[in-house]
Chain A
Amino acid sequence: MNVLYHNDVTLRERVAECLQDDFKHKAIETAQEVFYAKRGALVEEMGEGWQELRLRATEIRNHVTENLDYYVKLFAENAEANGYIMHYAPTDQDALADVIDIFEKHQAQTTVKSKSMMTEEVGLNEVLEEAGYTVVETDCAECILQKAESKPSHIVVPALHFDRDAICDIFTEKCGYEGTSVPEELTHFLRRYLRPEFLNADIGIRGCNFAVAATGSPTLITNEGNGRMVDSVPKVQIIFVGIDRIVPDLQSLDVMEALVPRSAVGSKMTAYFSVDSGPAHADEVDGPVEAHIILMDNGRSRILKTEFEPMFRCMRCGACLNICPVYRHITGHGYGSIYPGPMGVVMTPNLVGYDEIDTMVFACSLCGACSDHCPATIPLHDLIRAHRIEIVDEGKNHSNEVPVFKLLRKMWSDVGFYKFAMSAGGPMMRLFADSSKGALTVNSTWMPVVKGWTSTRDFDVLSKDRFRTWFKNHKPLAAETPVQENQGTEGGDA
């Protein structure tokens, strides 16, 4: 499992590093604002229809989850009937082994890839490269990251942390680029640079946004056309499909497609949406002659019938990142997971367990903006809270927090109190704040909920945009706590 990266340092150190990188979080801030404004305009245009769409998507996805084994089987059987060669991967290791087998069978040398989170999740690139194969990332941002040996800072626009000059330098150094740093010129260079890679690749590897059970069809959303290239040119194709990607029928795609681009980047539609149903037919001259599907679980099914089950509805749109105040400041890299932001805080521990994730589930202010914006109405902040509670129950937290979070659980499980607290949030906290500092200080340790946070650092009032300032100002204080005492979970890290 390659979900986590950069975990040789603590989450606190990563966050501190991200906070110092002014360009990086300025870029994230801009992206959030741009996407937010564009999305807002489209949502407004849809009026009541937007909420209904979200609820329909929720219904559809819940129906699949409630009958998941049936739908996984249905998709698998129909995909096989379409001519796909099916590979079943309960774990990442199974997926990797099967991919290597395909490469060996074809004596492949090079592969072109279009952006796929699942291949990142299993660490496919590293494994293929180690085995001696050349892997070419073809999404513009992924290509930049690959050349720069960097990690995504956003799930939809992963190379935001590089500015045009940095990208120009990377291309100059690694690809023999000789032009200026104008984005148009850089992009058109990539068109010329990657074209031969597509044409010469032995195998194309791609992900799948939604898998249609009734017709056995994987689908692909792309804007740049690299996904279509991977889908059209190489003679052998490998498609990674998660068991959480399934929709019942073609008509369901309409609902998903109406939600995803709007939520992700504030567009009504992406340039391309491909619905594939098998390899090229015998009378066709392009498209893959041989197409494989790797249908993978890799820990996903563990959350079935648990409170985390709603995560099966996630469409990986990134809307929750685009609205998250914590993400805004610590950026994708702060989390140290390929799945960052609210969706990542929920998913990462589900996939890798609590032992590995440092204090990630505390990288959230529980403000709930993510849940309001999620097109699949996933109650993200509730699930993040649920993780915290489980961690306390498992005794993996900072000892101070055991009583706090036990109490928290009681209080939060009282729906009435929870609703009140959420709606009251800011105003309520302001009541308790030391007005001279504008933050909750040690004087508020009597408040059971925040005790344990405020005894080691001040807790910023749930106010607009101050997290970053808060973190910077309080870094010295936080650092006083010896690292070994913080190995479990500890509030206020991010």
Chain B
Amino acid sequence: MAVGNKTLQDLLGPISKQMGHTAVAENVELPEWEHVPWRCTDGMNQQQLVDKFIEEAGKIGITIVRTPAADIAKAVAGIIQEGVPEAPASCTVVAANDERFAAAGLYDTVSGLGNVSELTVWDNTKGQANVDAAEKATYGITYAVGGIADTATIVQPSGPNCGRTTSLLPLVHIALVDAATIKPIMQDVMKDIEAQGGQLPSSICFISGPSATADIELVRVQGVHGPMYIYYVLVD
């Protein structure tokens, strides 16, 4: 038999046969799971979840900045002004195209900073230019759709107003996340996504800390291919 170009039936046939099935079942219901694991976030109220999120973030090299919603521009500007050691004296910034950023005056504030030479707001009509800007940028700013307390994770989908590379190519990722969206564990986020239905984003990235490796003698090094630094701006 020639190799390649096989059909789903070619793949399924031997599997079904090995299982003693004459046909693939039409429908299989999920069973009631017998085991319901205890999780450390069980019974926590929202305040405790936020505290847990902050505590876990501290353990994995994330800097947290808390701010009221009205002051997000100031909070982000503060991070960029303070800078990171590897940042050039004059740097560029890429940011998601988000109404909340515009409403808070974040774009104006950031582009007015003395050490910012250029701000690119994600614009899907400009195609590859966005990615090129992200590649050059020292800072990438996004608004996460949620957080997970257990692991200090943020949930970052891709979309027309915020690409996959906005939070990936820059040296520093600044992610805003609403404290109210912090859920206990990943399962809660998944439940919400399932409940929403419809077409899923082409990519949902669960981000927990800066990119890192320990491949050389198990020494942890931050900043491999993704951001070397990550800030969560926790919006109250």
Which of the residues B30, B200, B214, B224 comes within 8 Å of A190, measured between beta carbons?
Answer: B224
Do A191 and B225 touch across chains, with their CB atoms under 8 A apart? yes
Do A271 and B3 touch across chains, with their CB atoms under 8 A apart? no
A305 contacts across to B, CB distance below 8 A = 18-20
Do A187 and B3 touch across chains, with their CB atoms under 8 A apart? no
Q: How far is the CA of A327 from the CA of B33 in the complex (A)?
A: 35
B207 contacts across to A, CB distance below 8 A = 271-272
Which of the residues A27, A34, A198, A223 comes within 8 Å of B213, measured between beta carbons?
Answer: A223
Q: Is A478's CB within 8 Å of the partner chain B?
A: no
Which 3 pairs across A and B sit closest by C-beta, in order of nearness?
Answer: A225-B226, A97-B4, A225-B211
Q: Is A430's CB within 8 Å of the partner chain B?
A: no
Segment 8-46 of B: residues with Cβ below 8 Å from A = 8, 10-12, 14-16, 18-21, 24-25, 28, 30-31, 33-40
B193 contacts across to A, CB distance below 8 A = 250
Which of the residues A47, A272, A285 comes within 8 Å of B226, measured between beta carbons?
Answer: A272
A45-B40, A199-B135, A268-B150 are known contacts. Are A70 and B215 too (CB-CB below 8 A)?
no
| B128: nearest chain-A partner, CB-CB | A285
Q: Is A167's CB within 8 Å of the partner chain B?
A: yes
A201 contacts across to B, CB distance below 8 A = none
- Judged by DSSP, the binding face of B is loop
Do A302 and B18 touch across chains, with their CB atoms under 8 A apart? yes
Among A59-67, A340-348, A363-371, the one that faces the other chain is A59-67
Residues of B at under 8 Å CB distance from A?
A: 3-8, 10-12, 14-16, 18-21, 24-25, 28, 30-31, 33-40, 56, 60, 124, 126-128, 130-131, 135, 150-153, 158-160, 163-165, 168, 185-187, 190-191, 193-194, 199-219, 221, 223-227
Do B212 and A271 touch across chains, with their CB atoms under 8 A apart? yes
Given A183-B217, A286-B130, 15 further pairs, Cβ under 8 A: A46-B38, A49-B38, A67-B25, A72-B12, A88-B11, A138-B225, A139-B215, A140-B216, A188-B223, A191-B224, A229-B168, A232-B165, A251-B191, A283-B159, A304-B18
Do B158 and A271 touch across chains, with their CB atoms under 8 A apart? no
Give B203 Cβ to nearest chain A Cβ, in Å. Answer: 5
Q: How far is the CA of A281 from the CA of B200 in the complex (A)?
A: 10
Give A214 Cβ to nearest chain B Cβ, in Å. Answer: 8
Which of the residues B5, B185, B186, B215 comes within 8 Å of A98, measured between beta carbons?
Answer: B5
Which of the residues B19, B165, B185, B199 comes within 8 Å of A258, measured between beta carbons?
Answer: B185
Among A50-58, A385-393, A414-422, A458-466, the one that faces the other chain is A50-58
A231-B203, A277-B200, A297-B15 are known contacts. Are A91 and B3 too (CB-CB below 8 A)?
yes
Give B109 Cβ to nearest chain A Cβ, in Å. Answer: 25
Q: How far is the CA of A369 from the CA of B216 in the complex (A)?
A: 27
Give B137 Cβ to nearest chain A Cβ, in Å. Answer: 13
Q: How far is the CA of A301 from the CA of B37 in the complex (A)?
A: 30
A272-B206, A281-B202 are known contacts. Are A56 and B35 too (CB-CB below 8 A)?
yes
Q: Is A89's CB within 8 Å of the partner chain B?
A: yes
A70-B25, A187-B221, A254-B186 are known contacts. Are A284 and B158 too (CB-CB below 8 A)?
yes
Do A68 and B213 touch across chains, with their CB atoms under 8 A apart? no
Do B205 and A274 touch across chains, with their CB atoms under 8 A apart? yes
A157-B218, A159-B215, A224-B213 are known contacts. Are A194 and B225 too (CB-CB below 8 A)?
yes
Q: How far is the CA of A338 from the CA of B207 in the complex (A)?
A: 29
Q: How far is the CA of A72 from the CA of B119 in the complex (A)?
A: 46
